[in-house]
Chains A and B, each alone.
Chain A
Amino acid sequence: MGIERAQQRAAYALLAPAALLITVFFALPILASLILSVTDFDIYALAAPGNARFVGVRNYADLLRTPLFWTAIGNTLYYVAVGGPLSVLVSLGAALLVNSKLTRFKPFFRAVYFTPVVTTLVAVAIIWKYLYGLHLPGLPAIDWLGDRHWAKLAIILMSVWKSFGYNMLIFVAGLQAVPQELYDAALVDGATAVQRFRHVTLPQLGPTFLFVSITTMIGYTQLFAEPYVMTQGGPLHATYSIVEYMYEQGFRWWQLGSAAAIAFVLFALILVGSLVQARFRPAETS
């Protein structure tokens, strides 16, 4: 009994620093954010928090009436809807190539494709900003970052480049977990390569698809440094994202109450997006 109590004490002591830090710097701020979002917390409240007043759902109601909010939502949904599938497809393609039985130097290609993942986002956003400014011979001259219609796509292409290596690794792990017997059985039944891919590989990758598409979606909803560095959200707010809106509202105009409301809209968006995908994916693949 004494030993058990000593063990309990040791366990709590080992946990204490992490528990304290997570509570104070992660959990409590999230709860506080909920409260913040129903106050008019601004720069005066920052000086003396007593200046903040309860305003109910006014911050949320105001957002719904602000065109810029809808622009940010629309752009972010565009990033998710166009960038998400493109990212997943490129990652899957790279995984199939790297994982093919015929491929030599697998670790080399895997490492090369993974390299952009470890790079500093701000630095590569700057590189791409200048790359988009170059006129490459033989390619149509497109004003990638200056044109309202191309700018979002330019940011998406850069994001695909930056992140496909990560999902590629996840897909490779998924591909390697497919039991060989399934392929053998399909071969015996005379299935072609395309049929094997459609009826063996894809269904077996179901859970991997779910994981990859949810994390990719979350990544695109949180886009910030790319537009911040490459376009400052322009031209004409064409690339302006939700997190950028939150950042500007909170730390440029010091409307922390309103910014907290934006943060919760972002959270709700991610939650709904994840639930919708979790609901539809398995049904589709089983």
Chain B
Amino acid sequence: MTRRFVLHAVLLAGAVLTLAPLLWMVAASLMPSGQATTYPLHLVPHPVTLANYRYLFTHLDLARNVVNSAIVALSATVLSLLINSMAGYAFAKFRFRGRDSLFRLMLAGLIIPPQVGMLPLFVLMRQLHLVNSYWGVIVPSMASIFGIFLIRQYALSIPDELLDAARIDGASELTIYRRIVLPVLTPILVTFAVFMFMSTWNDFLWPLIILSDDAKYTLPVALANLSGEHVQDTELMMAGSVITLLPVLIVFVALQRYYIEGVTAGSVKG
């Protein structure tokens, strides 16, 4: 009995420590300017104010960055679902020359850190006139080796008989993909969609490199930029952090089952 009590006390302390920075962020974002850093420390805003949020949207035009982030993350997610489900399905259910060596070569690419290609990628984007554009952010993340791998592993379980029966009935390959394969793949596609949305929403280095104009910045880039200009405005920066974190936290709470599955699936490479 006491062991169980100690165990749960430790677990609870860990949970409080884990959530404390996020709870403090929310509290501080609702405080009047200066209150978060006056002593004795305030943990509860008094009075509660939305002034920081109002300032971000009226004076700093953060709404624009929210829209930028939403456009980039949503289009990258939708496009990558289409592109990687096609490729994952092809690797799983078709026999074609060079399939296995191509698949192995692709997986080998996973060990190369993405930063290695970023410099030539920037030069390429300049040639394509995609610097400082949404497409410049989206295009490099549309095809995902991890996504192809994840979807392929799942698609392996689609019975060949199902596909062959449809072929005998005269269905085109496109119809089979749309009407049979995509519905069967739905659970893994949700997992992958959550992954893609999170990683494109949270991404920092590449958007920082490719975007040069405040009006085009995604939220993380805009936030990093603001934090340099408003070093003293703790409460304001916390409001900006809340706005940046809210979408990913909502997606996580709503779809965590799928996300957590994806994490463990990604670790058992085989």
**A interface residues with partner B (beta carbon < 8 Å):** 3, 6-8, 10-15, 17-19, 21-22, 24-30, 32-33, 36, 41, 46, 49, 94, 97-98, 100, 102-104, 109-116, 118-124, 126-131, 133-137, 161, 165-166, 169-170, 173, 208, 211, 218, 221-222, 224-225, 228-229, 243, 246-247, 250-251, 256, 259-260, 263-264, 266-267, 270-271, 274
Q: How far is the CB of B120 from chain A (nearest CB, A)?
A: 4
- Report A-chain residues with C-beta under 8 Å of the C-beta of B240: 123, 126
- Report A-chain residues with C-beta under 8 Å of the C-beta of B205: 224-225, 243, 247
Judged by DSSP, the binding face of B is helix
Query: How far is A25 from B167 in the complex, measured between Cα atoms in Å?
Result: 35
- Report B-chain residues with C-beta under 8 Å of the C-beta of A98: 11
Query: Are A260 and B119 touching (Cβ within 8 A)?
Result: yes
Query: Are A122 and B220 touching (Cβ within 8 A)?
Result: yes
A17 is contacted by which of B8, B122, B143, B260 (Cβ under 8 Å)? B143
Q: Within 8 Å of chain A (Cβ to Cβ): is B58?
A: no
* Identity of the chain B residue whose Cβ is nearest the Cβ of A256 in the assembled complex: B119
Query: How far is A218 from B115 in the complex, measured between Cα atoms in Å?
Result: 12
Q: Within 8 Å of chain A (Cβ to Cβ): is B15?
A: yes
Most chain B Cβ neighbours within 10 Å, of A19, A115, A161: A115
Which residues of B in the span 170-213 have a Cβ within 8 Å of any Cβ on A? 173, 177, 198, 201-202, 204-205, 208-209
Most chain B Cβ neighbours within 10 Å, of A10, A120, A251, A266: A120
Query: Are B25 and A246 touching (Cβ within 8 A)?
Result: no
Query: Are A18 and B124 touching (Cβ within 8 A)?
Result: no
Query: Are B22 and A11 touching (Cβ within 8 A)?
Result: no
Given A11-B94, A270-B111: A33 and B120 interface contact (C-beta under 8 Å): yes
- Report B-chain residues with C-beta under 8 Å of the C-beta of A94: 14
Given A15-B87, A113-B18, A123-B223: A118 and B37 interface contact (C-beta under 8 Å): no
Q: How far is the CB of A239 from chain B (nearest CB, A)?
A: 15
Given A122-B204, A170-B264, A229-B224: A128 and B21 interface contact (C-beta under 8 Å): yes
- Report B-chain residues with C-beta under 8 Å of the C-beta of A228: 224
Q: Within 8 Å of chain A (Cβ to Cβ): is B134?
A: no
What are some 5 contacts across the A-B interface (CB < 8 A)? A26-B140, A120-B223, A173-B268, A224-B204, A225-B204
Q: How far is the CB of A118 from chain B (nearest CB, A)?
A: 4
**B interface residues with partner A (beta carbon < 8 Å):** 3-4, 7-8, 10-11, 14-15, 18-19, 21-22, 24-25, 28, 36-37, 39-41, 83-84, 86-87, 89-91, 94-97, 99, 106, 109, 111-113, 115-124, 126, 139-140, 142-143, 145, 148, 167, 173, 177, 198, 201-202, 204-205, 208-209, 219-221, 223-224, 227, 234, 237-238, 240-241, 244-245, 248-249, 251-253, 256, 259-260, 263-264, 267-268
Q: How far is the CB of A229 from chain B (nearest CB, A)?
A: 5
Query: How far is A264 from B148 in the complex, measured between Cα atoms in Å?
Result: 26
Query: Are A118 and B223 touching (Cβ within 8 A)?
Result: no
Query: Are A25 and B41 touching (Cβ within 8 A)?
Result: no
Tally inter-chain residue pairs, CB-CB below 8 A.
256
Q: How far is the CB of A134 from chain B (nearest CB, A)?
A: 7
Q: How far is the CB of A54 from chain B (nearest CB, A)?
A: 16
Judged by DSSP, the binding face of A is helix
Query: How far is A225 from B252 in the complex, measured between Cα atoms in Å?
Result: 22
Query: Are B227 and A229 touching (Cβ within 8 A)?
Result: yes
A137 is contacted by which of B15, B40, B234 (Cβ under 8 Å)? B40
Given A7-B94, A10-B173, A29-B124: A259 and B119 interface contact (C-beta under 8 Å): yes
Supplied contacts A118-B251, A120-B219, 7 more A-B pairs, CB within 8 Å: A22-B109, A103-B7, A121-B204, A122-B221, A221-B113, A263-B119, A266-B115
Most chain A Cβ neighbours within 10 Å, of B116, B173, B219, B249: B116
* Identity of the chain B residue whose Cβ is nearest the Cβ of A102 in the assembled complex: B4
Q: How far is the CB of B27 from chain A (nearest CB, A)?
A: 11
Query: Are B220 and A121 touching (Cβ within 8 A)?
Result: yes
Query: Are B237 and A130 touching (Cβ within 8 A)?
Result: yes
Query: Are A126 and B241 touching (Cβ within 8 A)?
Result: yes
Query: Are B140 and A123 touching (Cβ within 8 A)?
Result: no
B115 is contacted by which of A36, A137, A229, A243 (Cβ under 8 Å)? A243
Query: Are A97 and B260 touching (Cβ within 8 A)?
Result: no
Query: How far is A131 from B19 in the complex, measured between Cα atoms in Å?
Result: 13
Query: Are B223 and A21 touching (Cβ within 8 A)?
Result: no
Most chain A Cβ neighbours within 10 Å, of B123, B142, B264: B123
